[in-house]
Amino acid sequence: MRLDGRVAIVTGAGGGLGRAHALLLAQRGARVVVNDAGGAAEQVTEEIVAAGGEAIAAVGSVTDYDFVGRMAAEARQRWGRVDILVNNAGILRDRTFARMDLADFRLVVEVHLMGAVNCTKAVWETMREQAYGRIVMTTSSSGLYGNFGQSNYAAAKMALVGLMQTLGLEGEKYGIRVNCLAPTAATQMMEGVLPAEMLRLLKPEHVSPAVLALVREDAPNRAILCAGAGGFEAARISLTRGVQIATGDDAAEAVAERWAAIIDPANDFVPDNALRQSEMELARAGYAPERSS
């Protein structure tokens, strides 16, 4: 699986997951923009060049849209295109919601969500014009399923899933495919969250093959791929078939009474867009749209 001729931007690539992603993409032939808010981006760039690859460092925060725009422009100027964006930059400010300062909530959302928005916006038109793009959003099981003490992180990570779903729809006809990665890895962000013996099993390098699979030429679109310790799983946001309850004063009581049937996962499905819910509900209610002859 080669990426020769492709140009990739990896954010938060000074260490941990981002570094592992950048090194693997470069090893497979991609030219890589190594982004990080600190000087570690230079070190990773030197590693790639020393191994015979092509890379440039971009030191700055993904929360700064002007910086992000310059980073994307430099990649285009140097290599003529941008094919791959891996939105990996992130921070943690863990605390229970009762004790959390709203400034920390906003900061985490700003880095994870708006950082990804900034970077994606900076390359979106380029990818549309060249009719090719592969974008990876880094979500988390904390967002998909919740995690104690991480309301800010979870909110930002689940928001990235919604962003992925919509951009995957909007970009499809332009050859842009957008997916999510939910990694489990021993990074600096995870220290103190997981026990040390568990962290030793969770090397970032074991996650990066998932990124490669999501940015390949025949990549999927709108997938949520989970990865850690050599394991790979897919997460899905599905919809049950539900039940039909007549409207009326006792509708809420009927919902409670038929709760088990409503949540029954038998025959659940993954809607391909937001309209499928309303279409299913209207059909079950007996509504049939008029067809013109």
- Residues identified as active-site: 153
What gap in Å lies between CA 119 and CA 92, rounded to an integer? 20
Q: Which among 69, 62, 72 has a CA at the least distance from the CA of 107?
A: 62
Contact between 7 and 30 (Cβ < 8 Å): yes
The token pair that represents 203 in the structure block: 């090397």
Query: From CA 81, how far away is CA 87, in angstroms rounded?
Result: 17
Q: Which residues contact 231 (CB under 8 A, 6 or more apart)?
A: none
Residues forming a β-bridge with 84 = 8, 134
Q: Residue 134: in which H helix or E strand, if any? A: strand 133-138
